[in-house]
A and B are shown apart, each in its own frame.
Chain A
């Protein structure tokens, strides 16, 4: 089998993986045709078309999820600074005041909440989040921000009183977890909409 043919097979395999369950049979139909195409180049073009269709179907199925994720990422940039200022004014631990840590917690928790609905979304989240927030890209996100989550609480433990009071804990929840709750609400809405669309689709 030529490398081009192998690439075509991989491409159509990726298309199959990306396609939502209700469209899988259409990708299988495309895949079956691939075996009857003699030219390797044409087979690759056919498989590429399959991948395009699969991405279209996947994007359509995940449209509400993607909109929620992007909304959370942008909302984070505009809505969190006032909450951060309040946290600082009330004298919370220094690690809570780190913008990077806060952002990572917000985005990570929101993304995880959304991902609970479908594990495949974790991949989309990991790919999309650094791109959307634009904070130095994926390298900066993984190399600087994530380790900070571990480093900051450790530093805080040694330099500050160990336990914040309830007021601080509630403030933490308010400041850092509401996007996750919003994400959960949007994920629930996604499921409801998908169920409604599935019911409206004529069973022919």
Chain B
């Protein structure tokens, strides 16, 4: 099974949801970390993986204050939004499995 077809982890899902919460806006790593509660050591490998799969796009933005380095910002691609939708549906399906009529409780 390839990485791309594997079901995303809860952390990956949280990152996708954080990025989807402000569609079209660019978010910095710190903002995504604050929204998801992930530490940098978990967050950046997830971002790198998502970018490699084309689920998010990234770009360097000019710093707000002079003398500071440019910051890297991220937002979901159309493919990323579609992947989130599929993953959320799969998550709901796996948590809600209706029992057949007459089955013992």
Q: Footprint of B on A, CB under 8 Å?
A: 23, 25-33, 35-37, 45-53, 56-57, 201-202, 204
Contacts and interface: CB of A to CB of B under 8 A. Distances in A.
Given A33-B30, A202-B54, A50 B47 contact: no
A203 B82 CA distance: 20
Contact of A32 (B39, B45, B53, B70): B70
B6 interface: no
> What band does the interface of chain B fall in when counting residues whose beta carbon is under 8 Å from A?
20 to 34
Contact of A30 (B40, B52, B53): B40
B85 interface: no
Interface of B: 28-30, 39-45, 47-48, 51-54, 58, 63, 68-72
Given A49-B41, A57-B45, A33 B54 contact: no
A35 B94 CA distance: 42
Given A35-B69, A37-B30, A45-B39, A30 B54 contact: no
A53 B53 contact: no
B69 A48 contact: no
Contact of A46 (B40, B45, B51, B53): B40
A36 B71 contact: yes
Contact of A33 (B28, B42, B45, B53): B28
